[in-house]
Amino acid sequence: METEPLFLQRFEIGGRDFVNAGKASTTVKGILKEIGMAPAVIRRAAIASYEAEMNVVLYARRGTLELRVTPREIGITVADTGQGIPDVGLAMQEGYSTASEEIREMGFGAGMGLPNIKKNADEFRLHSVVGEGTTLQIVIRG
Amino acid sequence: MEAYFHSVRVLPESCAGRMACMRACPTQAIRVRQGQAEIMEDRCIDCGECARACPRNAILPQTSSFTDFARFKHTIALPSPVLYGQFGQDTLPGTILAGLRKVGFDEACDVAGASEAASIALEQYLADYRGPRPLLSPFCPTIVRLVQARYPSLIDQLIPIDSPMEIAAREIRYKRMKELGLGRDEIGVIYLTPCPPKMVAIKDPPRKRVSHVDGAIAISDIYQPLLAALAELDRETAETPEAVRGMGLGWPVLGGQVACLRSESCLAVGGLADVERILGEVENGKLGDIQYVECQACPQGCCGGSLTVENAYVARNRILGLVARFGSTPSQSREKIRELYEREYFSLPGKIPSRPFAPLDKDVGRAIEKRKRIQEVHKTLPQIDCGACGAPTCLSFSEDVVLERAPLEECLVLLARRAAAAPPPGAPAQAQETTA
């Protein structure tokens, strides 16, 4: 069987690294534009990858964002090592947030991040182990 | 791809291939090949930075010249309010308008009043709007092209309200047609522009309608004749200082639009790099609590346009001085403007099309393969962005190599490294065999 063209790139994300926060998702957006994905798909991928990247910056020790692009779909996997999410079901509720006052000061932590990612994704998988870390896998199709 | 009008052009006979333009271009749209700068039409957003950077004035703004308007029976100069900040503190807008008549226009008409009208219309639009936020200012033609090219998903956030230039031109044109009994083609309305991209708004407006303006002369071209006319002018007969007034006077400086809006959640952003940072955030779904972003390609706003004469900071100060003296007296009736707004007098019909930079390939699969190859080529390059190959960065050169726009051998650093690694000419053949 002929293999499908696949673009793969991985980015490092540092927890609490506010200087570089957002760089990975900006690069992701640039690559998708160069490849010629549709604007509506790019916007969904932009929002989802940015929110996912910021979750690592705000809550985890470190993580990676992996971008996989095929002609059919965009896959984004964000894996981090960190505190993990004790109750995934609760975290998925709009407005639920464990953000500290400090994080809210920065304009984040409104409890919309994960629901927003899900809203923009066609497939959404979230796996978390408390004390170890969280892996988020999403797929976006045109 | 459809061809676009561009407001700058390279003069081959003047270009010496010195690459200042290539390095200045914010969209990496310039390559230097065989000692000549070439602008890649589909990547150019008409910011004019190349013309500003060129040490030999080899990049010519495509503005009009005086002779272009000889065919009209009645000519009307429409100076960008930027012009009001180009002369000394004592030279008031009314005097400048009188000076323009002396230069040879049949009349000169103020645009700051139209800026005030546009501000009131904007305010109303912001109040009525219910879609995704923030809304973006549509008045800088370079910003519109930037959004069309790099942020197509934000096109619908560009406010569909006409520019002060168009509002003023339409009003004075139809008024004079009626009064003087002249046809549309007999009246020439000429904008005096601080930058080349205004020509884009005139010749190739994004919403594909016909502009009410016939052409634009650079402020830098009108400056000398106007200066001479002002020196000869009898100031007593010049217009009364109050002739030009209202908050629209502040539009030429960055933040001038926002200052006219009675809203606290507005931003003013100047300079393409900063505008791109903000648009990137908007694309990420941030800044939803901001109502409006005034976006200007030039860091100081229009008073820092590339076709102005006075230092942008000095000009800014003068404009702010005018706002302080004449800005608080309205030139427009708010009620009348609101009424016109309700009748969609300021609204722009039609949709702005997106015109993204050409992707690496029309086929996504092939584009993916090319993107991979670009990365591979990039890894082999020195990554010092020296520009000697004629591309602004090693990454853009990698793209050129993969898209077969340039051969890899154009990289002088690679060439030098290869030459250093190769055995010196005339070395015994045996030495080569033993190292192999």
Cβ-Cβ contacts under 8 Å, A40 against chain B: 153
Q: How many helices (H) and strands (E) does chain A have?
A: 5, 5
Question: What pLDDT, on the 0 to 100 scale, is given for residue A99?
Answer: 87
Q: What is the pLDDT of residues A103-116, one digit of tens each?
A: 888 888 888 889 99
How many domains does chain A contain in total?
A: 1
Is residue A2 domain-resident?
A: no
Cβ-Cβ contacts under 8 Å, B354 against chain A: 39
Q: Is B183 on the interface with A (CB under 8 A)?
A: no
Is residue A1 domain-resident?
A: no
Is residue A56 domain-resident?
A: yes
Q: Which residue of B has its CA nearest to A50?
A: B284
Structural domains of chain B ordered from first start: 8-61 (3.30.70.20), 66-342 (no CATH), 364-423 (1.10.15.40)
Q: Which residue of A has its CA nearest to B375?
A: A9
Nearest Cα to A50, choosing from A117, A97, A105, A95? A117
User: How close B153 comes to chain A (CA, Å)?
Assistant: 5
Question: What pLDDT, on the 0 to 100 scale, is given for residue B436?
Answer: 39
Mean pLDDT of B385-414: 97
A vs B: CB pairs below 8 A: 69
Q: What is the pLDDT of residues B195-218, one digit of tens each?
A: 999 999 999 988 878 899 999 999
The amino acid at residue B376 is: E
Question: What pLDDT, on the 0 to 100 scale, is given for residue A104?
Answer: 87
Assess contact for B164 and B111: CB atoms under 8 A. yes
Question: What pLDDT, on the 0 to 100 scale, is given for residue B235?
Answer: 67
Mean pLDDT of A118-134: 96
Q: Has residue B249 got a pLDDT over 70?
A: yes
Strand B59-61 relative to strand B8-10, pairing? antiparallel
Q: Has residue B279 got a pLDDT over 50?
A: yes
User: How close B383 comes to chain A (CA, Å)?
Assistant: 17
Average pLDDT, chain A: 93
What is the rounded CA–CA span in Å between residue B161 and residue B341?
10
Q: Has residue B429 got a pLDDT over 60?
A: no
Q: Which residue of B has its CA nearest to A21?
A: B281
Band of pLDDT at residue B72, cut at 50, 70 and 90? very high
Residue A89: give the domain boundaries: 7-141
Average pLDDT, chain B: 93
Q: Which residue of B has its CA nearest to A68?
A: B368
Is residue A108 domain-resident?
A: yes
Question: What pLDDT, on the 0 to 100 scale, is given for residue B100?
Answer: 95
Cβ-Cβ contacts under 8 Å, A29 against chain B: 280, 283
Q: Do B280 and A29 lie within an 8 Å CB cutoff?
A: yes
Q: Tell me the backbone φ, ψ of residue B264, rounded to 5 degrees.
A: -90, -20
| More confident of the two residues A49 and B1 | A49
User: How close A82 comes to chain B (CA, Å)?
Assistant: 24
Is residue A89 domain-resident?
A: yes
Band of pLDDT at residue A84, cut at 50, 70 and 90? very high
| Residue of B356, B365, B371 with shortest CB distance to A31 | B371
Q: Has residue B33 got a pLDDT over 70?
A: yes
Cis peptide before B79 (omega within 30 of 0): no
Band of pLDDT at residue B237, cut at 50, 70 and 90? low
CA atoms within 13 A of residue A1's CA, in its CB half-sphere: 3
Roughly how many angstroms between the first and final C-alpha of chain B, as a whole number?
A: 51
Mean pLDDT of B88-116: 94
Is residue A29 domain-resident?
A: yes
User: How close B44 comes to chain A (CA, Å)?
Assistant: 16
Q: What DSSP character marks residue A7? A: E
Question: What pLDDT, on the 0 to 100 scale, is given for residue B242?
Answer: 63
Sheet holding B266-270, edge to edge: B135-136, B292-296, B266-270
Mean pLDDT of A36-53: 94
Band of pLDDT at residue B238, cut at 50, 70 and 90? low
Band of pLDDT at residue B313, cut at 50, 70 and 90? very high
Mean pLDDT of B233-259: 84
Q: What DSSP character marks residue B423? A: P
Question: What pLDDT, on the 0 to 100 scale, is given for residue B2?
Answer: 57
Q: Among residues of chain B, what percentage have pLDDT more than 90? A: 87
User: How close A27 comes to chain B (CA, Å)?
Assistant: 11
Q: Which residue of B has its CA nearest to A3?
A: B365
- Domain holding A26: CATH number? 3.30.565.10
Assess contact for B248 and B80: CB atoms under 8 A. no
| More confident of the two residues B210 and B378 | B378
Rg (alpha carbons) of chain A, rounded to whole number: 15
How many residues are given for chain B?
436
Q: Do B369 and A5 lie within an 8 Å CB cutoff?
A: yes
Q: What is the pLDDT of residues B281-312, one digit of tens each?
A: 999 888 999 999 999 999 999 999 999 999 99
Q: Do B285 and A116 lie within an 8 Å CB cutoff?
A: yes
Assess contact for A134 and A113: CB atoms under 8 A. no
